[in-house]
Amino acid sequence: MELAYYSDYAVRLVNSEEPARGKDSLTSVEAVRALFGDSTAARRAADADVTRFRSVRARLRAVFEAADGGDETLAVDLLNSLLLEFPVSPQISGHDHRDEDGRPLWHMHLADHPSNATAGYAAIAAMGLAFHLTSYGVDRLGLCEAAPCRNAYLDTSTNRSRRYCSDRCATRANVAAYRARKRLADRSASTGLAADSAQRTSASGER
């Protein structure tokens, strides 16, 4: 498992809430376990983790907000505080996977030794996000520009052009922009017609 994979843990947690829409899916221990996917670590989750996960979520969102706002130093400082509080132990793992010659497919794996499910998840999410940030740049952490979404995303485009969290939001934003341009054009055309009519009326009166 590549370290970049773990950065999605941060995105999944941050996007479990949509503040602008007043939505929060992180309301039960089952929701907490769902964030882990099929990981056996999900079994450690307990009711108390709901509140703890929400606290970590707010801190991770703050990292994305700082990065999206162009404050690289703040984004790094906030992420460093999470890394210090929730450490991990990198290990080389093969997970019994073999290549075509029967040799282990070695890769880096993050082993956590948490006291609870939140600590384990936060450690992995913070390390994954740190790996993404240092490998691709702080400006690769963004918040969706399609109001009122503001979901977090990781920009992996070749030209650093991503602005939305999903194709759905990109389409919605493009449609909204098109309609706004059309309304402006219609108003301009209407204003122009009114001006032409006024000029013709004035000219008729002068004759």
pLDDT tens digits, 86-141: 988 778 877 667 788 888 888 777 766 667 899 999 999 999 999 999 999 999 99
| Percent of the chain clearing pLDDT 90 (strictly above) | 53
Q: Which residues, listed in sequence order, are joined to residue 154 by a DSSP beta bridge?
A: 141
Q: Which of 5, 3, 48, 9 is nearest to 29 (CA)?
A: 48
pLDDT of residue 198: 56
Q: Which residue has the tokens 């918040």?
A: 143
d(CA 11, CA 37): 13
Give the residue with greater pLDDT, 87 vs 202: 87
Residue 142's SS3 state is strand
Greatest mean pLDDT among 62-76, 112-126, 177-191 lies in 62-76
Residue 194 in this model has a pLDDT that exceeds 60: no
Q: Does 148 sit behind a cis peptide bond, omega within 30 degrees of 0 on the bond before it?
A: yes
The token pair that represents 35 in the structure block = 């964030």
Q: Which residue has the tokens 């709901």?
A: 50
Q: Report residue 155's pLDDT band, with 50, 70 and 90 as the boundaries.
A: very high
Q: Report residue 1's pLDDT band, with 50, 70 and 90 as the boundaries.
A: very low
What pTM does this model have? 0.79
Burial class (CB in 10 A: 0-12, 13-18, 19+), 197: exposed
pLDDT of residue 56: 98
pLDDT of residue 54: 98
